[in-house]
Structure 1
Amino acid sequence: MDTTEKLHIVMFPWLAYGHTMPFLELSKFLAQRGHQISYISTPKNIGRLPKLPSHLSSNITFVEFSLPRVHGLPSGAESTSEVPIDKVPYLKKAYDQLQVPLTEFLNNSNVNWIIHDFAPYWLPEISTPLGINLVFFSILTATVFVILGPPSVLLGDTRKWPEDFTVVPEWIDYPCNIAWKLHELVNHQQCMDDDVSDLQRLGLAIQGCQFVTKRTCYEFEPDEIKLLTKLYQKPVIPLGLLPPSLPSNEDERDENWEAIKSWLDAKGEKSVIYIAFGSEVNLSAESIRQLALGIEKSNLPFVWVVRKRPMGEGQMDSHQDLIPPGLEERVSNRGLVLRDWVPQVRILAHSSIGGLFTHCGWSSVIEALKFGRPSILFSGACSDQGLNARLFHARKVGLEIERNEVDGSFTSDSVAETIRQVMVEPEGEAIRKKAWAMREIFDNEELNKDYLDRFSRFIEDFAA
């Protein structure tokens, strides 16, 4: 890199931990190549990020913008994990007001590139006059964006109703049976901003950038990446999977981990289900009850992580309510319920973990496949999760729980049957083998470094 011009790159993620972390991982890689990074977010979101390695701290500057107050947004909230889903539109309105301090920052800084998320549809109008290039970095799979279509569709009115998204689009030129279910679309509408929809934000972000990069690779989504390049009529550069690293040895002294490890050590190899639905999934009391009964009926050992989520009207309001009364006592010999932060990557790496029961977030499945763990797929019915469930099911690295397509209902029996098939039954052997083989891609440090190198060279060589 000695002969390469050092660039000043702004990172501007959406206000969610699942977004800020991949942006930080990319920041660290670019900083290692000698580029100067200005990572811009709000104080609380920056405060949640892990400490930088000392050798990178001089090349990464965290720039804090206070989030403007917006009527309807709970006081002090700065991320999606701090608001119920029906308040997310107000978070988007507040985020849009960051245009003012960001414009001032760009006017007073010599910035070459902005690597941005889906939300700031207004970036092109402030970056173009300054000669700043834009990269739209999506943390989602290529499959999601193939289903959504080109900017002309995103910004048009050909899809007016939720039902329009439940069929495979006509522009897909490879075998595909992936689409949303009606209940997933109805649920996601709660977090849409009426003034500027997510589809409009995406369309303008894609339209206004120099190129698109995605957290994926040709080894997992070859047809999808190729089609996106055709649909967008501009480069789509896969970034690789950004697989997580295991925490350093000094973190092993964490008290939570020591107790969990001791419990896992007493269980058989690949015998335990790890259950985690993320901090932003809204489930009804009945859904939780059926899930819990199904987990109990499976008769398999499990670790269930229950994370608190700010509740909207009619939703459960405490950790205790999430777990049906009496469950913990009945399964005390084989079930461990955790209500605090847990070292998820360490847990998935443990030899006794045999599968992940997931809401189908891309980051969680990347972590699971890094260690060859198959998934029990239960769509969180938000954003990309339904499409991910179908994608992972189609790739045979997991099995989706059967649900009613209209209202999302399901039975505890279907939960138990799916768990047992993925974990122990002979019919699930192909899924277990396929997931185990995926380590060659998802745990391949050299492969993923090659993708990051190619991305870096692309922006370094890009002719404005």
Structure 2
Amino acid sequence: SRLPQLPPTLCSNITFIPLSLPYVDGLPLGVESTSKLPIHKVPYLKKSFDKLETQLTEFLKRSPQIKLIIHDFAQHWLPPMVNQLRINLVYFSIFSDSTNAFLGPTSEMLGGSRKSPEDFTVVPTWMDYPNNIAFKLHETVSHKECEDTLSDLERYATVLLNCKILKPIVPLGLLPPPLTSVDDKGDENLEALKKWLDSKQEKSVFYVALGSEVSLSQESMHELAFGIEKSGLPFIWVVRKPHLVEEQFCRQGRTLPLFIEDMIPPSLKNVFSKQGMVLRGWAPQLRILAHSSVSGFLTHCGWSSLIESLGLGKPLILFPIGSSNLGLIARLMHWKKVRFEIERNDVDGSFKSDLVAACIKRVMVDPEGEQLRANALAMKEIFGNEELSNKCLCEFTQAIENI
């Protein structure tokens, strides 16, 4: 139900088959994705997801025409099931190459040399070229909260060992979204947003969006807000609603209510009304980034967001939050010199507003950011290259047909 409607040209080629997530004690009813959960509740979603094996097996037994399953890292239970049904598996990695390299070979994932969170804070020995790809300690500790009894590395290694396309690896490209495909329906404030952007000087505005997966605490949001204010630069900030689970706790009286307005310090509301725009919920991100007045993106380091930003030649203000591989992506962007990362405490991830403001100004206006702004603009030739992307997709199609 969360997927967008198919365009008419694809309706006859694709059929959606609904599978219902089994009930698991601890997982709120109706929640089907990590975007609706705080990190400590994600293990319950994984337990429920693993219980889908029975439904999927029954469906596949009734569907002998299916010859291929494209899947991600979580379905460790797929290989033994589909082997009996003579169905091929293809693993689709949403991770960057540098993340895959950091995770290492399957032998390392299944109980190798890295045992403690600290072991993941150094560049692994097999990445024997100059780089800085490693986690910060607070990132590895945070990720442990979203794992159940089976680690994500164990899930990942199991599916890799059983997929049919692995060597050679088939690159899908960066899949950059073309601006012409952006659907602005449902954005009632688009004209007001465009008018506000048009009133600003070229390359003067920075855009702030922290993705749909992770919500910051009120304390962290306030610190970030003060940092944005101290930068003194015009901005657009997309503030999302709290997690569904947090809202349920509020209704049950277990925590104080959290409203979007509470995430912005009251003392800044008048200042923000003059300095920038705060958007609630959804925003036309690609349209905003493409505007000539926007010249920087304060991002949580989601891979899709970085592709959109660099595809338009916009430099990055890195603020990796949550779990997964966001920290590794931030280090990659740092290594490629298209960003500055907001300085945080390595142990607990805390940060100060002054450092937020300093990082924003370094990327946007300071002389020391001039080279990275030029580097980001040069990256447009790669990240925004539709011809290269289409070539990769054609080669992927051929690989699938060859199976």
What letter is aligned with 1:114?
I
**Alignment match, 1:100:** 54
What is the aligned counterpart of 1:288 among 214, 221, 225?
221
What CA deviation, in whole Å up to 9, does each residue of 1:234-290 have, x standing for no partner?
Answer: 322111011112255873684222221111111111111100011222423332222
1:450 maps to: 391
Instruction: Give the TM-score normalised by structure 2.
Output: 0.94
Alignment of 1:273 onto 2:214: no
Q: What residue ranges of structure 1 are gaps of 5+ in the alignment?
A: 1-46, 213-233
C-alpha contact (below 8 Å) 2:184/2:284 kept by paired residues = no
CA distance in 2, matches of 1:140, 1:270: 30
The equivalent residue for 2:135 is 180
| Alpha-carbon distance in structure 1 between the residues aligned to 2:75 and 2:185 | 39
User: 2:252 corresponds to which residue?
Assistant: none
Q: 1:167 aligns with which of 114, 117, 122?
A: 122
Tell me if structure 2 keeps the 8 A contact 1:271–1:423. Answer: yes
8 Å contact 1:241–1:366 — kept in the other structure?
yes
Deviation at 1:98, TM superposition (A): 1.1
Residue 31 of structure 1: aligned partner: none
Alignment of 1:32-47 (within 5 A): 47=1
The corresponding residue for 1:422 is 363
Per-residue CA deviations over 1:339-384 (Å, capped at 9, x if unaligned) read 1211111111111111100011111111111111111001114111
Identity %: 57
Alignment of 1:308-347 (within 5 A): 308-310=241-243, 317-347=258-288
Residue 202 of structure 1 corresponds to which residue in structure 2?
156
Amino acid at match of 1:193: D
Matches within 5 A, 1:13-92: 47-92=1-46
Distance 1:163 1:340 in 2: 36
Q: Distance in 2 between matches of 1:192 and 1:317?
A: 26
Offset of residue 161 of structure 1: 1.1
Q: What residue is the counterpart of 1:223 in the other structure?
A: none
Match of 2:350 in 1: 409
Aligned-partner Cα distance in 2 for 1:403–1:92:
30
User: In structure 2, what is the equivalent of residue 384 of structure 1?
Assistant: 325
Take 2:242 and 2:82, find their aligned partners in 1: how far apart are those partners? 36
> How far did residue 392 of structure 1 move?
0.5
Shift of residue 315, structure 1, vs aligned partner: 9.4
Preserved contact between residue 272 and residue 355 of structure 1 (Cα < 8 Å) = yes
Letter in 1 for 2:266: P
> Retained in 2: the 8 A contact 1:185–1:381?
no
Q: How far apart, in 1, do the equivalents of 2:313 and 2:181 lie? A: 21
Give the counterpart of 2:97 among 142, 164, 178: 142
Residues 215-254 of structure 1 mapped to structure 2, 5 A cutoff: 234-246=167-179, 248=181, 251=184, 254=187
Preserved CA contact (<8 Å) 2:187 2:284:
no
Paired with 2:183 and 2:217, the residues of 1 have a C-alpha distance of 39
Show the counterpart of 2:236.
303
Alpha-carbon shift at residue 393 of structure 1 (Å): 0.9
**How big is the shift at 1:437?**
1.2
Change (3 A) 1:315 1:102: farther
Q: Does 1:349 pair with 2:290? A: yes
Shift of 1:454: 0.8
2:67 matched to 1:130? Answer: no
| Aligned CA-pair RMSD | 1.8
Instruction: Give the whole-Å Cα distance in 2 for the aligned partners of 1:256 and 1:133.
Output: 47
4+ runs deviating over 6 angstroms: 313-316
Mapped contact 1:81–1:309 kept (Cα < 8 A): no
SS in 2 for 1:62: coil
Q: Tell me, yes or no, if the aligned pair for 1:305 and 1:339 is still in contact at 8 Å.
A: yes
| Contact 2:212–2:240 (CA under 8 A) maintained in structure 1 | yes
The aligned residue for residue 73 of structure 2 is 118
The CA deviation string for residues 186-235 of structure 1, in whole angstroms up to 9 with x for no partner, is: 111111112x11111011011111124xxxxxxxxxxxxxxxxxxxxx32
**Residue in 2 aligned with 1:25?**
none
Contact 2:35 2:214 in 1 (8 A): no
The question of 1:360 aligning with 2:293 is answered: no
Structure 1 pair 254/319, CA: closer, same or farther in 2 (3 Å)? closer
Q: Note if contact 1:349-1:371 (Cα within 8 Å) is conserved in structure 2.
A: yes
Equivalent pair of 1:316/1:322 in contact (CA under 8 Å)? no
CA distance in 2, matches of 1:137, 1:253: 31
Q: SS of the counterpart of 2:266?
A: coil
1:183 and 1:381 in contact (8 A); partners too:
no
Cα distance in structure 2, aligned partners of 1:355 and 1:249: 20
Q: Which has the higher contact order (CA 8 A, sep 6+)?
A: 2
- Structure 1, residues 316-354: CA drift from partner, whole Å, max 9, x if none? 832122111121211322210111211111111111111
- Give the CA deviation at 1:444: 1.1
The 1:73–1:401 alpha-carbon spacing in structure 2 relative to 1, beyond 3 Å, is same
SS of the residue aligned with 1:63?
coil
The range that moved more, 64-73 or 103-112, is 103-112
Give secondary structure in 2 for the equivalent of 1:169: coil
Displacement of 1:48 in angstroms is: 2.1
Letter in 2 for 1:102: L
| Structure 2, gaps ≥5 residues long | 250-254
1:263 counterpart letter in structure 2: W
Inter-partner Cα distance in structure 2 for 1:236 and 1:441: 20
In the alignment, the residues of structure 2 paired with residue 323 and residue 125 of structure 1 have an alpha-carbon distance, to the nearest angstrom, of 50
